[in-house]
Structure 1
Amino acid sequence: MAAAKTTTTAKSAEAKATATEFEFKGATFVIPAPLDLSDDVLDVIEDGGGERAIARAIVGQEQWATYKGLRCTIGEFNDFLDLVSEAAGFGDAGN
């Protein structure tokens, strides 16, 4: 019984440690596994940061610059936010 639990725990830990990659408007974005995100994300959430601030904290400065270079519309930002939220383990952003 203990061996099965250890195996399940090992698989769960492995799944949590996987980064998620997605493409948006021809650019590739890589989001760390939820437990590997910077704790700056928590600060932004706790400080009541808006959706853009949270997305920026999740993707990091370099990838945010890539996103900004895509010159997106508000609607496209909502699509991007959904992808970022899902990749970060927060589910759909609800936009």
Structure 2
Amino acid sequence: MNETWKFRSGQPDGNYVGLLKNKKLYILSSRGDSGYGEGEPNVHMNFQTTYLKTVFNIMGVQDIKTVSLDNEEYGGEHFAKSQREIYAQIANMK
């Protein structure tokens, strides 16, 4: 408190002001399955990245990029394809 965020009124009122400015955050996650992104069938179960975005937004971090390595539970070519896709995605990030 008062280093990464503060209460706007100075009292615990739930009105947060983020103190981190001009920061960029990369969330790198790993999942067993796929389909957790916007508009995908498992989005309702994506607590991981939505929680982290909320916490860092409270601190003032607005520039957040997420990358997820999916399909680990399947292994083999299915997982290898996910690995190739994530490496390409990371290489194209700015």
TM-score by length of 1: 0.30
Higher percent of residues as helix: 1
Bigger CA radius of gyration: 2
Q: Which structure has the higher relative contact order (CA within 8 Å, separation 6+)?
A: 2
Higher percent of residues as strand: 2
